[in-house]
Amino acid sequence: MTDRDMIVCRCEEVTYGELTDTAEKFGCTSRELKLRTRAGMGYCGGRTCRSLVDAIALAATERDVTQITLKYQPPVRPVHFGDLGVITND
């Protein structure tokens, strides 16, 4: 297994190779890289891969660091099923 085969986004199974190839080919910002590869769009919302996606986009472009940040949206608040309603077995 090479570095290119390393999974960066576990939720969407996006590899390091896919991210670097896409960033170099299109000169992507973090947001564009996310949209093209789906990295950071999975269940965790980018909490595990966001910093590496940002770093790959920064390395592939000549932008200022402040222009390259990937926004993530964690769930507002976890909700227990019991809070949604009571299920009875009548």
Residue 90 maps to a domain: no
Residue at 18 is within a domain: yes
Specify the number of domains making up the chain.
1
pLDDT per position as a tens digit, 31-87: 889 999 999 888 888 888 888 998 898 888 776 656 555 555 555 666 676 776 766
pLDDT of residue 71: 56
The pLDDT of residue 70 is 56
Residue at 59 is within a domain: yes
Asked whether residue 8 is assigned to any structural domain, the reply reads yes
Would 27 be classed as within a structural domain? Answer: yes
Q: Is the pTM of this model over 0.85?
A: no
54 found inside a domain = yes
Q: Which residues constitute the domain of residue 39?
A: 3-84
The answer to which of 3-7, 17-21, 75-79 has the lowest mean pLDDT is 75-79
Task: Give me the count of residues in the chain.
Answer: 90
In a domain, 50, yes or no: yes
| CA–CA dist 45, 70 (Å, integer) | 10
Crossing angle, helix 50-60 and helix 16-26, to 10 degrees?
Answer: 40
pLDDT of residue 39: 92
